[in-house]
A = this chain, B = another copy of it.
Amino acid sequence: MQKATLSILGCGSALPTHKNFPTSQVIEIRDKQFMIDCGEGTQIRMRQMGLRTNRLGHIFISHLHGDHCFGLIGLISTFGMLNRTAELHIHAQSDLEKILQPQLQYFCNDLPFSIIFHTINPRKNELIYEDRSVSVFSIPLKHRVPCCGFLFEEKPRDRHIIREMIDFYRIPTWRIPKIKQGEDFVTEEDEIIPNAQLTKAGDKPKRYAYCSDTAYSEKIIPIIEGVDCLYHEATFMEDEAVRSKQTEHSTARQAATIAMKANVKKLIIGHYSARYINQNELLNEAKAVFENTILGEDMKVYEI
């Protein structure tokens, strides 16, 4: 079975620390890569992780705070030096293009590839991207500036062939792809063999939700209900709940509460304030509410 993975390049917050770079991650799903956010040092982490990004076509930016987008210009510049030719699509609020274009013109005026900007409306929960195998939806979040998360949904995977039945009916190879997609088989004698006799249900499509930066907001629950993996920010612990509210961030307990109420399968926390040297404290606070919580760490790869 094809895995869907999440590579965390950085899961710190605004101030980088020994452990954590600012936010960036790469989702690999159905042989494609998608980047979410691109804080300073993203391209450095890619190198450190040995993460090759030749299947990266789309970057999604949650909001326009520096720790989520300052790495873009360096990444694009490096793609240029590496002679990338494939189009690069950037999905972000419209201001990003205004800020980035003058830099691109100055520093990257001879890029061997095109950059295509797509405007996101962070206040809407809507489909912002889809291809043959994946859909991406925006998730309105509650932050000091307009901000949205992203829901990645795999489209239904192919059904699994039952090899013995294929042999039994001597089905030619060229018919297999359609049968995997659910088509019945018609024999030379015009007998219809229902697809259910030839195949078993395919692997369950994966769903991944990214929610950072955000204050506690139950409005997102119906959108992320039941996802296989939720990445939710946990900038603070409950003892900093006041500061958390002021800055419109979440505590670890709040992240876990959202995970529990949305019945997600797994929660990964991140976007830790630099004040927490021992991040296990954050993990323990979350686990008390939602047991299947994992501490997000830079340079680790997680199965979705």
Contacts and interface: CB of A to CB of B under 8 A. Distances in A.
Given A66-B77, A73-B66, A44 B41 contact: yes
Contacts of A48: 18
Residue among A14, A41, A78 with max Cβ neighbours from chain B (10 Å):
A41
Interface string A1-22: 0000000000000111110010
Contacts of A64: 106-107
Contacts of A107: 64-66
A40 interface: yes
Interface string A124-143: 00000000000000000000
Interface string A53-79: 000000000001110001101100110
Contacts of A14: 77-78, 81
Nearest to A73: B70
A43 B65 contact: no
Interface string A277-301: 0000000000000000000000000
A106 B102 contact: no
Contacts of A16: 43-44, 47, 78
Contacts of A192: none
A95 interface: yes
A74 B78 contact: no
Contacts of A73: 66, 70
- State which size class the interface on A falls in: 20 to 34
Contact of A40 (B15, B41, B102, B106): B41
Contact of A15 (B17, B66, B78): B78
Contact of A47 (B17, B43, B71, B103): B17
A170 to B, nearest CB: 55
Contacts of A47: 15-18
Interface string A28-49: 0000000000001101100110
Interface of A: 14-18, 21, 40-41, 43-44, 47-48, 64-66, 70-71, 73-74, 77-78, 81-82, 95, 99, 102-103, 106-107
Given A21-B44, A70-B74, A99-B103, 11 more contacts: A14-B77, A15-B78, A16-B44, A17-B47, A18-B47, A40-B40, A40-B71, A40-B74, A66-B74, A95-B106, A99-B102
